[in-house]
Structure 1
Amino acid sequence: MSAVYSVKEIYIYPIKSLAGISCKDAVAQEMGFENDRRWMLIDADNQMITQREHPIMSQFYPQIADGKLSLVFEEQQHEFSIDEYINAKIETTVWDDKTEVFEVSKNTSKWFSDCLGFECKLVKINNLGDRRHESSKLKETFNVSLADGYPYLLVGTESMDVLNDKLEQKITVKRFRPNIVINTENAHEEDNFTTFKIGEVEFKNIKICERCIMVNNDPEKGIVKKEPLKTLSKYRRVGNAVFFGTNIVSLNSGIISVGDEVVF
């Protein structure tokens, strides 16, 4: 590949299914970027809660500073230490993966319960290996955090540009909740990446990412629409699945930054 590919945007999503944070740089770890999807909400039955059932979750805006995670939802605010948790193990699942987590605090769980209008807990994954995800394609098992399947999602700029050319109302890449957005020359060429290096970190492409109804949730309003899944299904469908972006893993730890070149 002769073109210069570079990192345009970096995002982390500290709490699964809540809004993300745009970053200038991030620390890549085996489980994903530092503080990326290390927390999630579970219901009274200890089952995960996502935007798929509760689109309003996109209206919770997190920030991390001085060792604290702060949240804003409508006119409500809350914060807690990123190291805070109750030392009582809870067993839950992320899709088919058994996962061990810990409740952050009763106070934080009550805040979320009051905001959402139903009983829930905010929980945290603490240790490498507390959730393991098997790749059916590679027959490998990966240590992951609370992301749907893999630690990182990569999207190319040209993939977004081609999609927006087909849409009546333009959308941003935030619909797809990527971790890394790179400048590309051709739409969906990221699907075919193998291994590559960004900054200090080598990454490996695992598989293209199957998309669900969640990409139809307008993150600015928390309202589910028909797009972009309707349009994507016309040219990115394989069987019953629709794909956009690609799932990757890191092969070592290190820092990547906006502007870093992607080296193949």
Structure 2
Amino acid sequence: MTPVPSLPTISQLWIYPIKSLGGISLSEAQLSPRGLQWDRRWMLLDAQGNFMTQRQIAAMALLQVELGDNALRVRHSQKNMEPLSIPLQQQEGAGEVQAPIWDDTTLAWYVGREYDAWFSEALERPCRLVYMPEESERTATGKWSGQQQKVSFVDEYPLLLIGQASLDDLNARLQAPVPMNRFRPSMVVNGSTPFAEDTWHEIRVGELRFWGEKPCARCLVTTIDQQTGKAGKEPLQTLSRYRRLGSKVLFGQNLLCDSAGTLRVGDKLEVISYKPDPLKG
């Protein structure tokens, strides 16, 4: 009898409550209408009102975030600063703004001057902290599924999936291996072949449904050591040799979802349908 191949398994779940700051590893995560609960619901704006990321300010990697029952706790990993506590339940008390995020603008609330002062000191430049309320109407539309979903302050799609085998394949080509946190995934899976996720279209985890909509084009953030805040050339230099499509370097699969529920480390992932490999035409 031919053995039934085992299904890939979720091995890591991550959220990034404040865009471009440190991520939080979870054993289980709630799937909400915008993606994983609390993921990228806060964002920093600079003095000109532009959104801030590690692309321009690598030191943002040094701000680590923890999730409590009622608040986020933010600390600077290298400065002797009192940690900052940010209530999870936000109120429209400090005004609102149409916050820019790439080609979009979306409703956001200012969180408060005391939070702006903490981040301004931590990053040594003027900052304003904003929050995305439920009233915000920012959306993403799927290329393959046609699904439309509300999103937070993510770059484009609400979820990013990466196979552990894909990172293992990359690390086998590098002189110094890099950790998964360079790629800021939402979900990591074990038990697939390298870059199998490139061709996954419809995916199920229990009763939860997902669609692989677009390979993730990688940027300079992948070259920033998340422990030191220092940038180098890898892994983007090596990835560009074998994961390039036109001007883009691909690593990971962006997902949409249409369900609410709970994802857990250890859950099995079933691929229902496939799409063409983007690197093979």
Q: TM-score, normalised by structure 1?
A: 0.95
CA distance in structure 2 between the aligned counterparts of 1:261 and 1:188, rounded to whole angstroms: 18
Partner of residue 88, structure 2 = 82
Report SS of the residue matched to 1:223: coil
Partner of residue 17, structure 1 = 20
Partner of residue 51, structure 2 = 48
Compute the displacement of 1:89 (Å).
1.6
Once the two structures are superposed, residues 105-146 of structure 1 have per-residue CA deviations (whole angstroms, 9 ceiling, x without a partner) of: 111111101111111111100115432235567666431100
CA distance in structure 1 between the aligned counterparts of 2:19 and 2:227, rounded to whole angstroms: 17
Letter of the 1:84 counterpart: Q
CA contact (8 A) 1:31 1:128 kept: no
Given candidates 236, 239, 255, the residue that maps to 2:243 is 236
CA distance in structure 2 between the aligned counterparts of 1:129 and 1:114, rounded to whole angstroms: 29
Compute the displacement of 1:200 (Å).
4.2
- Judging changes above 3 Å, is the alpha-carbon distance between structure 1 residues 107 and 86 closer, same or farther for their aligned structure 2 residues? farther
1:1-264 map, 5 Å: 2-73=5-76, 74=78, 75-76=80-81, 77-87=83-93, 88-127=95-134, 129-134=136-141, 141-264=148-271
Letter of the 2:42 counterpart: W
CA contact (8 A) 1:134 1:140 kept: yes
Bigger share in strand: 1
- Judging changes above 3 Å, is the alpha-carbon distance between structure 1 residues 69 and 166 closer, same or farther for their aligned structure 2 residues? same
CA distance in structure 1 between the aligned counterparts of 2:123 and 2:61, rounded to whole angstroms: 12
Letter of the 2:14 counterpart: Y
Report SS of the residue matched to 2:133: coil
Task: Indicate the structure (1 or 2) with the bigger Cα radius of gyration.
Answer: 2
Once the two structures are superposed, residues 88-111 of structure 1 have per-residue CA deviations (whole angstroms, 9 ceiling, x without a partner) of: 220121100121101111111111
Compute the displacement of 1:85 (Å).
4.0
**Count of aligned pairs between the two proteins:** 264
CA distance in structure 1 between the aligned counterparts of 2:153 and 2:58, rounded to whole angstroms: 18
CA contact (8 A) 1:145 1:151 kept: yes
CA distance in structure 1 between the aligned counterparts of 2:149 and 2:251, rounded to whole angstroms: 22
Once the two structures are superposed, residues 138-187 of structure 1 have per-residue CA deviations (whole angstroms, 9 ceiling, x without a partner) of: 66643110011100000001100000000000111110000000013311
Compute the displacement of 1:66 (Å).
2.1
* Unmatched tracts of structure 1, length 5 or more: none
- Judging changes above 3 Å, is the alpha-carbon distance between structure 1 residues 163 and 230 closer, same or farther for their aligned structure 2 residues? same
Moved more, 77-86 or 254-263: 77-86
RMSD (CA atoms): 1.6
Compute the displacement of 1:52 (Å).
0.5
Letter of the 1:239 counterpart: G
Q: TM-score, normalised by structure 2?
A: 0.89
* Unmatched tracts of structure 2, length 5 or more: 272-281
CA distance in structure 2 between the aligned counterparts of 1:95 and 1:175, rounded to whole angstroms: 21
CA distance in structure 2 between the aligned counterparts of 1:176 and 1:134, rounded to whole angstroms: 22
Compute the displacement of 1:84 (Å).
2.9
